[in-house]
Amino acid sequence: MNYNFSNDTGEEKNKKKIQKEFDNKPTPAFIGASWVALVAGMLAFCVGLSNAAMLLNEKGYYLTILLFGLFSAVSVQKNVRDRLEGTEVTDMYYGISWFAALASITLLVIGLWNADLNLSEKGFYGMSFTLSLFAAIAVQKNTRDKKFIESTEEV
């Protein structure tokens, strides 16, 4: 028999378990580096688009894919994290988030494959897109970790 004499509710136990995983809060340097990477990736992508010799509708396509990719990557990160923390996430939303993230990457690859651009330009867009997605995930993770740690310190 296992007797539990603590006054902790299930939610408090879960919070303590999660807190152990986040004892190392993100440093200001990592938070700053994540934001710099996000801004640099997005800015490089957008400056590349503004200087590109392509039609306005093509530029709009690539900009929309960037925004779609950023949103879907953050959504996937949030869903994965919610599930790890025991927060209920429907399978439908979880699947849609993954589908959207993969769709944005696929649409970028198809667009660049068929674009009349130099190989170096295609690589530039691919790398700035990848940097932006990675940085968006890191910024969201840092923001969530920081908020979680602040909320547990208040208790």
116-154, pLDDT tens digit by residue? Answer: 999 999 999 999 999 999 999 999 999 888 888 877 776
pLDDT of residue 152: 75
Confidence grade of residue 27 (pLDDT, cut at 50, 70, 90):
confident
pLDDT of residue 4: 53
pTM: 0.79
- 92 pLDDT tier (thresholds 50, 70, 90): very high
pLDDT greater than 70 at residue 22: no
The SS3 call for residue 43 is: helix
State the sign of the Cα–Cα–Cα–Cα dihedral 36, 26, 146, 85. Answer: positive
Report how far apart the first and last C-alpha atoms of the chain are (Å, whole number).
31
Q: What is the DSSP letter of 89?
A: -
Q: Cα torsion at 115, 116, 119, 125 (round to 10°)?
A: -50
- What gap in Å lies between CA 137 and CA 143, rounded to an integer? 10
pLDDT in tens, 40-89: 999 999 999 999 999 999 999 999 999 999 999 999 999 999 998 888 99
106 — pLDDT class (breaks 50, 70, 90): very high
